[in-house]
Structure 1
Amino acid sequence: MTETHMQDRSGLAPGETGPSGETGPVEQAGAWALRHLRRMKGNALRVRAILRGRSQRAAGARRALRPGHRPQDVLAVMLLTVGIAAIALDIPTYPWLRSLPDEYKQAFSAITDLGKGHWILWTTGLYCLLTLALDWDRLRFRVRAALALVWTHAAFIFSVVAASGIAVLLLKWLLGRARPKLYEEVGPVYFDVLSFKGAYTSFPSGHSTTVAAFATALALIFPAYRWLIAVCAFWIAFSRIMVGAHYPSDVIAGTLLGLTIALAMGRWMARRRLGFHFDEHGAIEPIAGRRSAGLALAGLWQGVTGRRGWRRAVPAPILSETRKEAD
């Protein structure tokens, strides 16, 4: 490649500095990336400072768990429902599935992969990382409020799905229950503890755990749609049985595990008033009401569609000083 080809429109080659101090495209790109990385680090430190500042609030907001929400109550429900399912449902399920037409399995195969956590983690994680690179001080109030609201809930969903995924993986590989495809060889209640084989990772269902954690998080964020969210989550979790990947007891255990982790994380955030708070009955509900959230999102939409600018009006001296600090 010749020197002419290596030059940009300004006539500068990479590493070359012009008379006025301007640099080439490589240096400009490096400076741009470094500036945004510094901004991401600064915003991350601000988030950490907010979390640390809420520790005293969390200590004062501790309240006893209601009956049915205590760890021993959840464990009792899990032992009861999973035990009944293992005795009454697991044994006849596999022969029943074999008697169904293949169209049923194909239909549920179309939705079963929605229970995978990678698409949830990628979307929420990338949003949280990319928005940390923004200069939040220059954004208009409604835009900043909307982005912060979405950031809080995205981080909540990411944490819930990641934590439930780690927990279910540990249980899967620890317990080593045989999958339904080994039904005729070892039966429905065979466990090979610490076998570390893919065919012995049936209990609990990972898809069901992810779906339950994700659905519970959405139900806490959008309480008016909780029944619709619950029904959709049910069919996605039920698809794991229909495609022959899990027994009913696997799905029930995974659902209870994901539900428990999401509620525990929701309580952790509500004590710190991060996106949620407790109502007068001790239930978790979002801090932002419909009206305030709607106004914030409307401001964000106006910025996206170009009806209004993203940035707020800043006096010229302040803006120039801010730019010097950023550079």
Structure 2
Amino acid sequence: MALSDKAGRAQRIYPVELVLVIGRALAQLVRPPSHSRRAEAARRWARHALWLTAALSLAIVILMVGVDAFEIGLMPPRGTPSLWPVKIITDFGKSAYVLWALAGLLLLVLLIVPLLRGVPRAVLIGFGTRVQFLFLAVLVPVAIGEVLKGIIGRGRPFVGGAADPYNFSLFAWNEAYASFPSGHSITAAALGFAVAAVWPRLTAVMATYVFVILVSRLVLLAHHPSDVVAGALLGLVGAMAVRYWFAARRLAFTIRQDGTIDPLPGPSWDRVKRVARGGSAP
């Protein structure tokens, strides 16, 4: 009977704890910034974002004027059967797949956290905060990109029959005229930057991932070169802005005196092992 009562109390407590965990996860995102060096980080982010935007905007203009039409003429015809491996690879940069995968992982963390206590709970919460960052770092620029696509209305390669890089239909909100900026490039660049920001050792791997996704969009004649560069620019700047938002609130990142944002070390799994062996958490 006692065991039954304990089980009943545990069942009643879990939903309450789950709601509290979700509430805290949302509240920490909108709380006022508290890091003492957030002004330095903001200036550094603004400076880097400005230079990156200026350099890549110049590249976009050069590509649009002198490269786009030539490059798409070199690609194999759309629908070439031998391109099936590229079609599989390019899906790894599809925003819906990436966002649903991250949302599923975040939901799993939220469901498990209420079941844990002590250091294991702290470790999982720290990991969940990082997944939350990855999700928002991709979602924010992707959402902006979708709006820009509909407003700009640039035709995809050979829409209308000609290799015309100046085929625009403003406010088209049509898939055929949703070439600029590339959504896959936004997703890949944002995810690549975000993962490398949290786990710097994966920088080379994520840079390769971004490059492969961008090239796949060109090979499949889904975008012009200027489209993928514009998408990469939006993905990078958007993810950088989300990183600053988290760092200013002491979430997943810390800020150095010069304004550099570094990943914040989470609770160590060694501590979890010590607790599991019966030791006390430091």
TM-score range, shorter chain: 0.7 to 0.9
**Following the alignment from structure 1 to structure 2, what is the Cα–Cα distance between the partners of residues 72 and 221?**
23
Q: Report the count of equivalent residues.
A: 275
| Alpha-carbon distance, 1:241 to partner | 0.3
The answer to whether the aligner puts 1:91 opposite 2:69 as a matched pair is yes
Matches within 5 A, 1:267-282: 267-282=244-259
Q: Which of the residues 291, 295, 299 maps onto 2:270?
A: 295
Q: Is the CA contact (8 Å cut-off) linking 2:89 and 2:213 kept in structure 1? A: yes
User: Any gaps of 5 or more consecutive residues in structure 1?
Assistant: 1-21, 23-27, 314-327
User: Partner of 1:210 in structure 2?
Assistant: 187
Q: Is the CA contact (8 Å cut-off) linking 1:43 and 1:132 kept in structure 2? A: yes
| Alpha-carbon distance, 1:48 to partner | 4.3
User: Any gaps of 5 or more consecutive residues in structure 2?
Assistant: none
User: Partner of 1:9 in structure 2?
Assistant: none
Moved more, 61-70 or 264-273: 61-70
Q: Which amino acid aligns with 2:61?
A: G
Deviations 1:118-164 (A, max 9, x none): 232223223333433446485231x1232012101100011111112
Moved more, 111-120 or 184-193: 184-193
**Following the alignment from structure 2 to structure 1, what is the Cα–Cα distance between the partners of residues 75 and 30?**
52
TM-score (norm 1): 0.72
Deviations 1:149-189 (A, max 9, x none): 21011000111111121111001111100001316347121
Deviations 1:222-279 (A, max 9, x none): 1122123112211111110011100000000000100001111111111221101123
**Following the alignment from structure 1 to structure 2, what is the Cα–Cα distance between the partners of residues 179 and 52?**
38
Secondary structure at 2:254 match in 1: strand
Secondary structure at 1:127 match in 2: helix
TM-score (norm 2): 0.83
The answer to whether the aligner puts 1:118 opposite 2:96 as a matched pair is yes
The answer to whether the aligner puts 1:47 opposite 2:20 as a matched pair is no
Larger Rg over CA atoms: 1
Q: Is the CA contact (8 Å cut-off) linking 1:121 and 1:161 kept in structure 2? A: yes
Q: Which amino acid aligns with 2:110?
A: L
User: Partner of 1:77 in structure 2?
Assistant: 55
**Following the alignment from structure 2 to structure 1, what is the Cα–Cα distance between the partners of residues 30 and 87?**
44
Give RMSD over aligned pairs: 3.4
User: Partner of 2:168 in structure 1?
Assistant: 191
- Whose RCO is larger (CA < 8 A, sep 6+)? 2
Q: Is the CA contact (8 Å cut-off) linking 2:14 and 2:115 kept in structure 1? A: no
Change (3 A) 1:67 1:133: closer
User: Partner of 1:250 in structure 2?
Assistant: 227
**Following the alignment from structure 2 to structure 1, what is the Cα–Cα distance between the partners of residues 67 and 181?**
15
Change (3 A) 1:295 1:105: same
> Percent identical across equivalent pairs?
29
User: Partner of 1:17 in structure 2?
Assistant: none
Secondary structure at 2:222 match in 1: coil
**Following the alignment from structure 1 to structure 2, what is the Cα–Cα distance between the partners of residues 95 and 138?**
57
Secondary structure at 1:180 match in 2: coil
Moved more, 88-97 or 222-231: 222-231
